[in-house]
């Protein structure tokens, strides 16, 4: 995990085979701005050499706080360091805890569609639609019947999925069952469980992990962890948890100033940024980012993980009697049909619009700043 203090951009412009080619690369350093610039220039020259050799080269790296170009570290303001743990402010202004080796996994409450069930329903309805079209000798009627089959598949599949969640005791009970099932197969694990606005957060305490460890991937799969978060853990080689509320959940309608919030900002804009942060901190005082629910498992605690746990609980106010800054969409669990039944066709197969909204929000936040969920 790398969260640098200094950033720079190197640019090389050269005419190659009659074309003007510009290569831009970022550089970073914890030592000085000059070292960051030298590294940026070195990376730009290396990329140009690969371009001359005929390799496919991205000419300009994306300037993003989190989930930027491959190989580019987290680009956020460092608010605090505690050993290997770094607290940063993401692009919409919330604080995020970044740790290289203490496993966090956020589980969004969703209503998963069984794709086999959805396919069987669609196959039956599609066959009926084709038969109706052939029987009426009308292609227009057949197309209409197929469209109706898609809609009916969506509503029937989501209805079955919602019934399954209801029978399981609700989305929180279902998510907790996933955690308890995983722990029953891994009795040496010890985790703390937290309630978040969108679901549950799991923190492993029994040992530390490399994000590339196969056991981490197994845990993420078993708990149905957000796939975007999983990908970012692997890319940035760190685990991440948001420890202060999202601004729109505490009555602040704007992201951190100036936009787009990528660090560093122009020094002339720092007073504007600080004014926003001061207002945000005042609004966030009365809210927790998550609430501690239970500790489950073996009871064995790694000292390094315990230090991160204390920092996480302090910053997120997980043990204080404060309300969570709730996301109304996430808590009401409302489902609205999209223009097309994408939930059935999507690779993740969720029907809960709030879960998709949270994933989209997470995607935007991570692509621009990292949300940790």
- φ/ψ region of 93 (left if φ > 0, alpha if ψ in -120 to 50, else beta) reads left
> Is 328 a residue whose pLDDT tops 50?
no
Which has the minimum average pLDDT: 28-32, 122-126, 189-193? 122-126
pLDDT band at 142 (very low <50, low <70, confident <90, very high): low
Q: What is the DSSP letter of 13?
A: E
Q: What's the confidence (pLDDT) of residue 127?
A: 81
> Is 338 a residue whose pLDDT tops 70?
no
Q: What's the confidence (pLDDT) of residue 136?
A: 75
Q: Is 147 helix (H, G, I), strand (E, B) or coil?
A: helix
pLDDT > 90 fraction of the chain, expressed in percent and rounded: 49
The C-alpha atoms of residue 75 and residue 363 are separated, in whole angstroms, by 16
> Is 112 a residue whose pLDDT tops 90?
no
The C-alpha atoms of residue 45 and residue 11 are separated, in whole angstroms, by 9
Q: What's the confidence (pLDDT) of residue 294?
A: 95
pLDDT band at 32 (very low <50, low <70, confident <90, very high): very high
Q: Which residues of 6-32 are buried (b: 16+ CB within 10 A; e: fewer)?
A: bbbbbeeeeeeeeeeeebbbbbbbeee
Do 349 and 113 form a contact (C-beta atoms < 8 A)?
Answer: yes
The C-alpha atoms of residue 238 and residue 222 are separated, in whole angstroms, by 19
Q: Which residues of 223-244 are buried (b: 16+ CB within 10 A; e: fewer)?
A: bbbbebbbebbebbebbbbbbb
The C-alpha atoms of residue 351 and residue 358 are separated, in whole angstroms, by 12
> Is 162 a residue whose pLDDT tops 70?
no
> Is 372 a residue whose pLDDT tops 80?
no
Whole-number average pLDDT of the chain: 81
Q: What's the confidence (pLDDT) of residue 282?
A: 95
> Is 171 a residue whose pLDDT tops 90?
no
Do 336 and 352 form a contact (C-beta atoms < 8 A)?
Answer: no
Comparison of pLDDT for 325 and 173, the residue scoring more: 325
The C-alpha atoms of residue 290 and residue 320 are separated, in whole angstroms, by 10
> Is 333 a residue whose pLDDT tops 80?
no
Which has the minimum average pLDDT: 257-271, 277-291, 327-341? 327-341
Most confident of 111-115, 177-181, 325-329, 369-373: 177-181
- pLDDT of 224-237, one tens digit each? 898 888 988 888 88
Do 132 and 145 form a contact (C-beta atoms < 8 A)?
Answer: yes
Alpha helices (runs of H) in the chain, residue ranges in sequence order: 33-52, 115-136, 139-167, 171-185, 214-223, 227-236, 270-284, 303-316, 328-332, 342-345, 353-368
Comparison of pLDDT for 305 and 75, the residue scoring more: 305
Cβ-defined contacts of 211-220 (< 8 Å, 24+): 211/100, 211/236, 211/237, 211/238, 211/239, 212/237, 216/103, 219/103, 219/105, 219/182, 220/105
Q: What's the confidence (pLDDT) of residue 221?
A: 93
Q: What's the confidence (pLDDT) of residue 336?
A: 36
Do 144 and 130 form a contact (C-beta atoms < 8 A)?
Answer: no
- pLDDT of 277-305, one tens digit each? 999 999 999 999 999 999 999 999 999 99
The C-alpha atoms of residue 240 and residue 232 are separated, in whole angstroms, by 9
First to last CA, the chain: 18
Of residues 116, 112, 65, the one with CA closest to residue 91: 65
Considering the entire predicted model, what is its pTM?
Answer: 0.72
The C-alpha atoms of residue 332 and residue 281 are separated, in whole angstroms, by 27
What count of residues does the chain have? 373
Mean pLDDT for 336-360 is 38
Burial class (CB in 10 A: 0-12, 13-18, 19+), 160: middle
Comparison of pLDDT for 6 and 261, the residue scoring more: 6
Most confident of 19-23, 156-160, 201-205, 260-264: 201-205
Question: Which distant-in-sequence residues (6+ apart) come within 8 Å of 194 by Cβ?
Answer: 200, 201, 202, 203, 290, 291, 292, 293, 316, 318
Do 189 and 183 form a contact (C-beta atoms < 8 A)?
Answer: yes
Q: What's the confidence (pLDDT) of residue 330?
A: 34
3-state SS of the chain: helix, strand, coil percent to 5? 45, 20, 35
> Is 132 a residue whose pLDDT tops 90?
no
């Amino acid at each position: 995990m790398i969260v640098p203090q200094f950033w720079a951009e190197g640019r090389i412009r050269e005419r190659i085979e009659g074309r003007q080619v510009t290569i831009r690369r970022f550089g970073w350093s914890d030592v000085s701005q000059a070292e960051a610039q030298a590294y940026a220039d070195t990376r730009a020259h290396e990329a140009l050499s690969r371009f001359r050799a005929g390799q496919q080269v991205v000419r300009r790296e994306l300037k993003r706080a989190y989930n930027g170009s491959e190989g580019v570290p987290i680009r956020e303001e460092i608010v605090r360091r505690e050993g290997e743990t770094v607290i940063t402010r993401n692009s919409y202004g919330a604080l995020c805890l970044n740790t290289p080796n203490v496993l966090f996994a956020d589980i969004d409450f969703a209503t998963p569609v069984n794709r086999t069930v959805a396919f069987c329903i669609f196959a039956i309805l599609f066959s009926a639609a084709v038969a109706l079209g052939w029987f009426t000798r009308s292609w227009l009627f057949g197309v209409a019947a197929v469209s109706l089959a898609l809609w009916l598949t969506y509503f029937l599949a989501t209805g079955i999925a919602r019934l399954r969640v209801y029978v399981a005791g609700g989305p929180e009970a279902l998510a907790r069952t996933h955690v308890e099932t995983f722990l029953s197969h891994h009795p040496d694990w010890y985790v703390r469980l937290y309630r978040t606005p969108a679901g549950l957060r799991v923190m492993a305490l029994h040992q530390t992990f490399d994000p590339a460890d196969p056991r981490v991937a197994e845990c993420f799969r078993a708990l149905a962890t957000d796939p975007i978060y999983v990908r970012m853990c692997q890319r940035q080689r760190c685990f991440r948890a948001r420890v202060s509320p999202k601004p729109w959940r505490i009555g602040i309608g704007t992201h951190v100033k100036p936009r787009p919030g990528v660090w560093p900002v122009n020094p002339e804009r720092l007073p504007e940024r600080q004014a926003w942060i001061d207002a945000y901190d005042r609004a966030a005082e009365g809210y927790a980012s998550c609430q501690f629910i239970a500790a489950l498992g073996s009871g064995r605690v790694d000292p390094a993980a315990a230090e991160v746990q204390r920092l996480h609980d302090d910053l997120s106010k997980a043990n204080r009697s404060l309300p969570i800054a709730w996301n109304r969409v996430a808590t009401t669990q409302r489902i609205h049909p999209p223009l097309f039944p994408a939930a059935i066709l999507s690779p993740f197969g969720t029907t809960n619009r709030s879960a998709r909204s949270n994933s989209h929000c997470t995607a935007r936040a991570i692509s621009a700043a990292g949300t940790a969920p």
